[in-house]
């Protein structure tokens, strides 16, 4: 089990590269079994969620090969419709496989998915969407078994714009007979990326990003070479880290509209942000004003995946910040760790009240989930003295070369094996 040792209190300055979006790559990997032809995904980040997804694909019988930064999936010999339980426990996104495996084999079997322990994370919307497409579902002994002789298009209204349910239904509908319409669909940029990817394969999907997605079923899909969008959550994490420590950051390739809610809050905090061509520049004095209210919402609202990192910044902002977490009910596990560093945070249910203190101090803390772990790193980078952040397996799920990128900005951070 690795941990980071971090010497805090240094400003961060420089340019950072942004990886391809974890939440875009995972559904694209799931979609690769929809064709017998070769699928190449470029710039695939070296993160454990991707490794787990590739393991699942090879257990289904897909051949995976790699070049320096691309992954090539050849699923012509895929035979299995059963997604192994030991892998689904590691990765919630394995649930996407249900849509594409069903399309390919007309049946699929999966155990209940795992992933970050940040709340109940039900999959009722995924399952009711599949039922509308004609899928028969049996749930027993922790397994979900699905079968459908034919998948047929349907009009589906989601009770909530769930990202996973929207993507799953698209994957199951893309080769169904007839047209599927998903209303109250999630609008996240990663869904637009999935649409673009499928259309490059010959799919007929439109409307992603706008709330109503329309999928005209096609008979076949072909191979594709594709570069996914940049990771707006990784980008946001670096922007918040520099805002919190003070300094200057330059990044490229993340459209402003994909992180507009965060940029708006950082400007309220007193950061100077401007954009030139494809680049975003941020300047921060280090001790900022509080943003007063952060409320997580589906896209284009403030992303729940940046809530923890922003809360770390709020710990040393001038004034009080109220954080409201509307998506995942137990996403404050990091708060107790931040308190060890001197933060003044009170959590009540979905709300956290953070009173900014002058400075945090170093402490030994432990990551409990992916984004909460990133928040602890941000807090430690700004704190006085040395901190250790343990249980990096959470952080390694979603950030590739996190410490190398931070070091390049001037951070004192190293990984030690314990
Ligand atoms: C995806 C992201 C995750 C992000 C989340 C919200 C991936 C791989 N993961 O997760 O990083 O935090 O979107 O932006 O893309 N819900 C139900 N029933 C369902 C499905 C969801 O009630 O069947 C609820 C959830 O409990 C949650 C809300 O809907 O409260 C949002 O979840 P959802 O958008 O589905 O998140 P994920 O797809 O799991």
What's the DSSP call for residue 198?
A: H
What is d(CA 239, CA 229) in angstroms, rounded to the nearest whole number? 18
Mean pLDDT, rounded, of the chain: 94
Q: pLDDT-based confidence at 235, cuts 50/70/90? A: very high
What is d(CA 343, CA 336) in angstroms, rounded to the nearest whole number? 9
Nearest-CA residue for ligand 1 atom 4 is: 305
Cα 328 to ligand 1 centroid, rounded to whole Å = 8
Q: Phi and psi at residue 88, in whole multiples of 5°?
A: -65, -25
**Under a CB-based contact definition with an 8 Å cutoff, are residues 248 and 242 in contact?**
yes
User: Any idea which residue has 């869904």 for tokens?
Assistant: 191
Cα 243 to ligand 1 centroid, rounded to whole Å = 28
What is d(CA 124, CA 48) in angstroms, rounded to the nearest whole number? 26
pLDDT of residue 114: 56
What is d(CA 64, CA 78) in angstroms, rounded to the nearest whole number? 11
Residues 6 or more apart whose Cβ sits within 8 Å of residue 395: 367, 370, 373, 374, 377, 389, 402
Taking the CA of residue 299 as reference, the ligand 1 atom at the shortest distance is: 14
Among residues of the chain, what percentage have pLDDT more than 90?
84
pLDDT of residue 119: 52
pLDDT tens digits along 246-298: 999 999 999 999 999 999 999 999 999 999 999 999 999 988 999 999 999 99
pLDDT of residue 118: 47
Taking the CA of residue 233 as reference, the ligand 1 atom at the shortest distance is: 11
Cα 297 to ligand 1 centroid, rounded to whole Å = 11
Cα 296 to ligand 1 centroid, rounded to whole Å = 12
Q: Enumerate the H helices of 279-398 as residue ranges.
A: 307-314, 334-340, 370-382, 393-396
Q: What is the per-residue DSSP string for 236-273? A: HHHHHHHHHH-EEEEEES--GGGGHHHHHHHHHHT-EE
- Name the residues annotated as catalytic: 116
Nearest-CA residue for ligand 1 atom 27 is: 327
What is d(CA 311, CA 205) in angstroms, rounded to the nearest whole number? 37
pLDDT tens digits along 384-408: 999 999 999 999 999 999 999 999 9
Q: Worst-scoring range by mean pLDDT, 197-201, 206-210, 329-333?
A: 329-333
213-216 vs 204-206, strand pairing mode: antiparallel
Strand ordering across the sheet containing 279-284: 12-16, 247-252, 279-284, 272-276
pLDDT of residue 72: 98
pLDDT at 80 over 60: yes
What is d(CA 337, CA 368) in angstroms, rounded to the nearest whole number? 9
User: Any idea which residue has 């009540």 for tokens?
Assistant: 348
- The domain made up of 2-19+230-417 is a member of CATH 3.40.50.150: no
pLDDT at 16 over 90: yes
Which residues have C-beta atoms less than 6 Å from ligand 1? 23, 26, 92-93, 119-126, 160, 162-165, 186, 304-305, 327-328
Taking the CA of residue 163 as reference, the ligand 1 atom at the shortest distance is: 34
pLDDT at 23 over 70: yes
CA dihedral 378, 379, 385, 388 (to 10 degrees): -70
**Under a CB-based contact definition with an 8 Å cutoff, are residues 34 and 243 in contact?**
no
Nearest-CA residue for ligand 1 atom 26 is: 121
pLDDT of residue 124: 85
Residue 110: enclosing H or E segment and its boundaries? strand 107-111
CATH (residue range 22-226) = 3.65.10.10
272-276 vs 12-16, strand pairing mode: unpaired
Q: What is the pTM of this model?
A: 0.96
Among 164, 234, 394, 397, the mutation site with the greatest number of ligand 1 atoms within 8 A of its Cβ is 164
Residues 6 or more apart whose Cβ sits within 8 Å of residue 35: 75, 201, 220, 221, 222, 223, 224
Among 163, 236, 325, the mutation site with the greatest number of ligand 1 atoms within 8 A of its Cβ is 163
Cα 304 to ligand 1 centroid, rounded to whole Å = 10
- The CATH 3.65.10.10 portion of the chain extends over 2-19+230-417, 22-226
pLDDT of residue 248: 98
């Amino acid at each position: 089990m690795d941990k980071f040792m971090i010497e805090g209190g240094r400003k961060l300055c420089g340019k950072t590269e942004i990886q391809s979006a974890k939440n875009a790559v995972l559904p694209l990997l799931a979609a690769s079994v929809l064709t017998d032809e070769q699928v190449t995904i470029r710039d695939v980040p070296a993160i454990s969620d991707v490794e787990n997804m590739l393991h699942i694909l090879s257990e289904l019988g897909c051949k995976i090969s790699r070049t320096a930064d691309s992954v090539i999936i050849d699923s012509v010999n895929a035979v299995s419709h059963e997604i192994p339980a030991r892998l689904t426990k590691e990765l919630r996104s394995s649930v996407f496989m249900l849509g594409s495996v069903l399309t390919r084999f007309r049946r699929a079997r999966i155990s209940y998915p795992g992933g970050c322990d940040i709340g109940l994370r039900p999959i009722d919307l995924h399952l009711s969407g599949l039922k509308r497409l004609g899928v028969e579902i049996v749930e027993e002994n922790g397994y979900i078994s699905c079968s459908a002789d034919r998948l047929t298009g349907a009009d589906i209204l989601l009770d909530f714009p769930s990202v996973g349910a929207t993507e799953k239904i698209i994957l199951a509908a893309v080769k169904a007979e007839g047209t599927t319409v998903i209303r109250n669909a999630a609008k996240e940029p990663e869904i637009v990326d999935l649409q673009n990817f499928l259309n490059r394969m010959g799919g007929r999907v439109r409307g992603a990003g706008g709330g109503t997605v329309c999928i005209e079923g096609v008979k076949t899909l072909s191979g594709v070479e594709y570069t996914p969008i940049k990771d707006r959550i990784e980008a946001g994490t670096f922007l918040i880290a520099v805002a919190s420590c003070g300094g200057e950051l330059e990044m490229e390739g993340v459209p402003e509209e994909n992180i507009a809610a965060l940029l708006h809050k950082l400007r309220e905090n007193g950061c100077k942000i401007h954009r030139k061509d494809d680049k975003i520049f941020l300047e921060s004095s280090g001790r900022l004003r509080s943003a007063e209210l952060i409320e997580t919402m589906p896209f284009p609202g403030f992303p729940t995946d940046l809530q923890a990192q922003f809360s770390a910044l709020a710990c040393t902002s001038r004034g009080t910040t109220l954080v409201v977490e509307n998506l995942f009910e137990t996403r404050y596990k990091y708060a107790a760790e931040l308190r060890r560093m001197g933060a003044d945070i009170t959590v009540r249910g979905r709300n956290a009240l953070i009173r900014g203190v002058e400075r945090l101090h170093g402490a030994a803390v432990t990551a409990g989930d992916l984004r909460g772990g990133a928040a602890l790193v941000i807090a430690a980078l700004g704190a006085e003295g040395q901190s250790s952040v343990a249980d990096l397996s959470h952080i390694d799920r979603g950030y590739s070369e996190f410490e190398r990128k931070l070091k390049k900005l001037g951070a004192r951070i190293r990984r030690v094996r314990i």
